[in-house]
Structure 1
């Protein structure tokens, strides 16, 4: 059985400094938009909060935990909407934010409501709103922004899917996610997948993360993910979160930075196109 290919089917730079500097220096082409907004969304335990922790760790240069992660949990640890800046006052903040939300659960009255996600994409949901699994947010409400600007909207939707659990996602969860995807399609919103836990899904990648784009198994998992969600392969990115490490590992950083570099341009393109409408 072939487990890996001799050549990478995606080229990746395994040096972090250049990518970090590129992202720090990135300029949004619309002067009125100060930050690109990314919404992380997916099943409980897929690694949404860990994604944000990993990104903040990279730019802090040390382990950083600001979002409570629900590793292998059946219930979401994130209960309210929270935009997370990247960077700090000393070194400066980067021109993008990642928003953490409650995870998707299969039961109708559990987890985040699809309508709440749609409202968030459109910029109606204010920071610190506590999600209600039974009743989605609507106006008038202190946490409902009636007339959001382009800066309030999300500029890219990031699905977070665990590579080793794609086949285990139940139909109800998929239907909820497809409802959100349908709305995002109507908004012409960029949509990408962060495919987490690649080290768990593939022993070759676990031994050496640099084999991720040589792994036949990872490629097949990406294809499975593409079929399940309807997201094209070139918008699916395998990533590895920090979850047990206490030291910085450059290969983990590089895989995430490669992905960030791509999606920041996707989001900036959306802002430009939206402005032209």
Structure 2
């Protein structure tokens, strides 16, 4: 008698639960992480930290943004965001953060060149992506003179943990190309692994098993190898989906990821500021 995929997954999770987590999370004190996020301010007045989310269709980009907003508001929050078929560059701003959510990557989806333009700040908010042609410089949504606030400071790839092994090769290649461009621009990259409760019954039973399950660690390692994002920049989370009340464990994982995203973004802002000052001094000396 054959064994179903779900049964095999359950077996793998059951036989490889570690006694101690391989990564530590402070489950009992989410309040300090929450306060750290709320207190964050860039060193320069008026500076915004821009976070660009991309990833395959249905990975949970919009749900992640809504989950972050729910935690920061202290209640369930469901701002209308783009659905999986939308072509718009959606912007959500709160505190000094700007989240941009673009249409899902697919073999026939958003063009890599348009994402590269967005990284550089050349794409204005609410631009409607075109699958057949890239944004041209004479388009009214093309930003000819991007400011520091228009440019991306952290690139976040959102991936469904259940699809890592079965990701389409074309989508994987798009993620790699976008990551290479971000590296060239000195933009840090983070990956968010979503739907972890669906990936393994042990995690669904107790979210605090997230760093004790070898099955999930192997998925993270596989994704790291495939697209080149280091393990210490990959964060598994569970987005809010069916819940009507906040959950401390869900919050802890999302806040852990968000805190690192903010730290990486702040490093990016400060790096580019220092580069600009050095260039200004060099030009002055000339």
Q: Which runs of 5+ in 2 are unaligned?
A: 1-11, 276-286
The residue that corresponds to 2:47 in the other structure is 34
Q: CA offset at residue 55 of structure 1?
A: 0.6
Q: Is the 8 A contact 1:33 1:150 kept in 2?
A: no
Distance in 2 (CA, whole Å) between partners of 1:213 and 1:67 is: 32
1:138 aligns with 2:115: no
If the length of structure 1 is used for normalisation, what is the TM-score? 0.90
The residue that corresponds to 2:146 in the other structure is 148
The residue that corresponds to 2:270 in the other structure is 272
1:47 aligns with 2:47: no
Distance in 1 (CA, whole Å) between partners of 2:80 and 2:199 is: 24
Q: CA offset at residue 244 of structure 1?
A: 1.2
2:71 to 58, 70, 74: 58
Distance in 1 (CA, whole Å) between partners of 2:183 and 2:46 is: 22
Specify the structure having the higher radius of gyration (Cα). Answer: 2
Q: Is the 8 A contact 1:47 1:241 kept in 2?
A: yes
Q: CA offset at residue 32 of structure 1?
A: 4.6
Q: Which structure has the highest helix share of the two?
A: 2
Q: Secondary structure at the match of 2:165?
A: helix
- CA 1:148 to 1:69, structure 2 compared with 1: closer, same or farther past 3 Å? closer
Q: Secondary structure at the match of 1:168?
A: coil
- CA 1:78 to 1:253, structure 2 compared with 1: closer, same or farther past 3 Å? farther
Distance in 2 (CA, whole Å) between partners of 1:228 and 1:170 is: 12
Q: Deviations over 1:6-58 (max 9, x none)?
A: 112111111322111111111212x1552211001000001111111111111
Q: CA offset at residue 98 of structure 1?
A: 1.0
The residue that corresponds to 1:116 in the other structure is 114
2:33 to 7, 16, 19: 19
If the length of structure 2 is used for normalisation, what is the TM-score? 0.88
1:80 aligns with 2:81: no
The residue that corresponds to 2:278 in the other structure is none
Q: Which runs of 5+ in 1 are unaligned?
A: 71-75, 87-93
Distance in 1 (CA, whole Å) between partners of 2:215 and 2:82 is: 26
Provide the aligned C-alpha RMSD in A: 1.4
- CA 1:6 to 1:192, structure 2 compared with 1: closer, same or farther past 3 Å? same
* Aligned structure 1 segments of 4 or more residues deviating by more than 6 angstroms: none
